Amino acid sequence: MDKLAPDSGIAEAMNRVLAAEREAAQTIAAAQRSAESVIEAARVKRRRILDSARRRATRMHVQAQAGLEQVLKDLTESRGGPGTDLESLRALAGEALERLSRRLTSVDHESR
């Protein structure tokens, strides 16, 4: 019987080790599922941000295009009238660049 006692102690120790390994494996699997969930949520957020940025860029492009078309129309109609000299055109371009840079660097990216 003395030989059985050490064997049962060894068996109990092995069972505790195996139980600890199973618990660790379950904890690791739960952590992996949680990480995958967090990663997927980040991907969804990235897609939303990207879609929003694309819509914003498209709106800005359309507005800029319309503005340029209006300026070209005004310049074509005035043909050498007041405000079409080189200095006036440079001032107009400078103002446009300043407005564009403010819009691109503003927090909400909306027109000002």
pLDDT digits (tens, 9 = 90+) for 53-90: 999 999 999 999 999 898 888 877 776 555 557 788 88
Residue 40 within any structural domain of the chain: yes
Instruction: Say yes or no to pLDDT of 1 above 50.
Output: no
Which amino acid type is present at position 98?
E
Query: Does 14 fall in a domain?
Result: yes
Determine if the pTM surpasses 0.85: no
For residue 82, the model assigns a pLDDT of 56
What domain range is 38 assigned to?
4-79
> Does residue 101 belong to any structural domain of this protein?
no
Torsion of CA 104, 105, 106, 109, to 10 degrees: 30
Indicate whether 99 belongs to any domain: no
Total domains, the chain:
1
